[in-house]
Amino acid sequence: MRLFSKLFNSRRSRRDLHVLATDLCYSLEDLRHLWFNSCYEAFNVEAGEGVVKYLNDNLVGEADYAMRAYQLYLVSGFLAEHSYMEPSMTKEFISVLRQQILGTHLDECLLYYGRYSETNEGQRLSHFCKDITKHITGGETPMTESLLLLSRCFPILFNVTHMWVAKAFDDHETVHKLEDNFKKTYERTVTEWNDKALPILYEFYEDENQAKS
């Protein structure tokens, strides 16, 4: 990966970093909303036909801050894992991403970012899933819904976020591995949810995959 890093540094300017960050952020923004909507649908499928149980189907407020912060945490981790750039450029790229992903609610989002980054993986996932569940249910964090989000929804968010980062840097080997993981996770999850929870998210994946290929 060091060879790839040198090629990137020799071919891209700092202006390219901003363009790359902007393109990546557009994909991540779409993914945030579609993933959240899929979680909402999954909760209602689990509740049963004709049951209107959950209150909030829009990604706003605290849930939006939590989503932005967690995406930034994931992307930062993926960049560190793959070493696509030299450390100085990686630091600058993450700084640009932070401004674009967190937007005008920097302080609010950074509170969540600190909460997620200062705990171990198990606690981090638990905090994030409870934050999203609490918003959807209107203030409660039922164990069933939190576990549903953790076991069925989160793996898709993790894989697709990682995939967009790899695509942004033309890391085709990683992209192919993640595509296989995504399809397996999607097929298993949709079977469990009777084909109602994730079709829109899968269509987004297919459209983005064609556009970026």
The range of the structural domain enclosing residue 122 comes to 2-212
pLDDT of residue 50: 52
Average pLDDT, the chain: 79
- For the cut 80, the answer to whether the pLDDT of residue 159 exceeds it is yes
Q: What percent of the chain has pLDDT over 70?
A: 69
Least confident of 47-61, 101-115, 185-199: 185-199
pLDDT of residue 184: 75
- For the cut 60, the answer to whether the pLDDT of residue 7 exceeds it is no
- Closest by CA position to 109, among listed 118, 95, 94, 99: 99
CA distance 36 to 96: 24
Question: 6: pLDDT confidence band, cut at 50, 70 and 90?
Answer: very low
Q: What is the DSSP string of 117-136?
A: HTS-HHHHHHHHHHHHHHHH
How many domains is the chain partitioned into structurally? Answer: 1
Buried b (16+ CB within 10 A) or exposed e, 131-151: bbbbbbbeeebeeebbebbbe
pLDDT of residue 63: 92
Q: How far is C-alpha 129 from the chain's CA centre?
A: 13
Calculate mean pLDDT across residues 2-6: 41
pLDDT tens for 65-105 read 999 999 999 999 999 999 888 888 889 999 999 999 998 99
Residue pointed to by tokens 């970093």: 17
pLDDT of residue 97: 92
Question: 154: pLDDT confidence band, cut at 50, 70 and 90?
Answer: confident
Positive or negative: CA dihedral 170, 173, 174, 180: positive
- For the cut 50, the answer to whether the pLDDT of residue 5 exceeds it is no
- Closest by CA position to 58, among listed 33, 21, 26: 33
